[in-house]
Amino acid sequence: MTVNLDGAAQVGHRLVPDDGLPAWMRRVVGRADGARLPRWVRHATELAPDGARRSAVLMLLADGETGPDLLLTGRAATLRAHAGQPAFPGGALEPGEDDVAAALREAREETGLDPDSVTPAAVLPPLYLRPSGYLVSPVLAHWRRPGPVRVVDPAETAVVARVSIAELVDPGNRGSVVVRPGLRTPAFTVAGLVVWGFTAGLVDLLLDWGGWSVPWDAGRIIALEVPPPTGLGPRAQVAR
C-alpha cells in the first residue's frame, strides 16, 4: 500500500442535521464532520492515478436488539478482487451516480437492503486502494427502519451480518493482523469472519468516534490463512 503521511485536503462532511438521529449516531456524525482519517489507513487522493475508478461503501449503523449494530458482508471467494474478504456493502459508481447513490444501490444489490429505510448522514474522505486501483468513498448512514437483509447473489457475497457494537468492542474479539513486516491493521473476529485491513480500520474509527472503544490487546495476532473455497472468509488462528 502507498500511504501519504501528510494527508489530503479532503475531510469528512455531514449530510444531515442532528434532528431525527439518535444520540449515539449524532456523536458519530459529529466526529465525522471535518474529520481526516488515521495515518495508517489514509490514502491521499492525489496518489490515485488519473482515471482511477470511483467507488463507495456503506457504513450502515442501526438500533439493534442489544444496542447499535453495523452491517458487514463477506465477499465470495470466487471474485477477482478481494476474494473472501470481509467488507462493507459497496462497489463502483455508475455514470451519473454520486457516492451516496452508488453505496445505496450496491447495498441493495448485495443484501436486499431497502434504500428508503436509510438516512445517509456523512461522507468520509475518499481513500485510494492501490491493490484494486479504486478510489473509495465511505458513506456513513443511519438505518432508521431496519428490515431483513440476506445474501442476494452467492457469486458476489457469501455472508451478510448485522454485528453489534458490543461484539466489536469485546476485547476477546479484537486483535491485529500482520499485513506485511512492519504493517499491522486492527482485526475483529465476528460473525464467522476475520475483519481486517481497510474495513477493520474504518470499524476501529467508528468505535472511537462513538465513544465505544475499550482497552484491548493489540499484541494479540490473528493469522490469516488461505480463504476456504466456500467463500466464508479467512479462518482465524490466534498466535500463542
Domains of the chain, earliest start first: 13-238 (3.90.79.10)
Summarize pLDDT for 97-111 with one digit per residue, the tens. 999 999 999 999 999
Summarize pLDDT for 64-81 with one digit per residue, the tens. 999 999 999 987 655 444
Summarize pLDDT for 130-155 with one digit per residue, the tens. 777 788 999 999 999 999 999 998 88
* pLDDT for res 233: 41
* pLDDT for res 4: 34
Entry pTM: 0.87
Assign residue 36 a region (left: φ > 0; alpha: ψ between -120 and 50; beta: otherwise).
beta
Beta strands in the chain (DSSP E): 13-14, 53-64, 67-75, 86-87, 90-92, 118-123, 127-129, 134-143, 157-164, 174-180, 183-190, 193-195, 222-224, 236-238
pLDDT band at 216, cuts 50/70/90? very high
Query: To which residue does cell 461503501 refer?
Result: 57
